[in-house]
Amino acid sequence: MQIYVGNMSYQTTEDSIKDLFEQYGTVNKVTMISDRETQRPKGFGFVIMDDDAAATKAIEELNQKEFDGRTLKINEAKPKEFKPRNDF
């Protein structure tokens, strides 16, 4: 299951998120999203866990919890919506 993790502190690292989610099961991948131009973190990312039951438990227990001074917003990731580009 792919999990959306939002409202993260800019100081939060992939390792700290992985450690947080590994309390619930095996984490396959953590991806933090950064601005393309500035490389500054955008404050959200994704966690992939194979075990759906563990992922659901992590979502239920970590959503709205404080981590690194911020209240996390966590839910199952939605498929990326296609947006046509305007390159005119």
Question: The domain that contains 64 carries what CATH number?
Answer: 3.30.70.330
pLDDT at 87: 64
- The token duo for 74 is 């966590």
Task: Kindly tell me if the per-residue pLDDT of 81 is higher than 90.
Answer: no
Residue found under tokens 């590994």: 22
Q: How far from 33 is each of 24, 51, 68, CA to CA, in Å? A: 23, 23, 17
Say whether pTM exceeds 0.85. Answer: yes
pLDDT at 28: 98
Judge whether 83 lies within some domain: no
pLDDT at 30: 98
Judge whether 81 lies within some domain: no
Domain count, the chain: 1
Contact 44, 62 (CB under 8 A): no
Mean pLDDT to the nearest integer, 38-42:
91
**Residue numbers of the domain that contains 52:** 2-76
Judge whether 37 lies within some domain: yes
Judge whether 60 lies within some domain: yes
Average pLDDT, the chain: 94
Judge whether 85 lies within some domain: no
Of 6, 31, 23, 30, nearest in space to 58 by CA: 23
Q: How confident is the model at residue 88 (pLDDT cuts 50, 70, 90)?
A: low
Judge whether 42 lies within some domain: yes
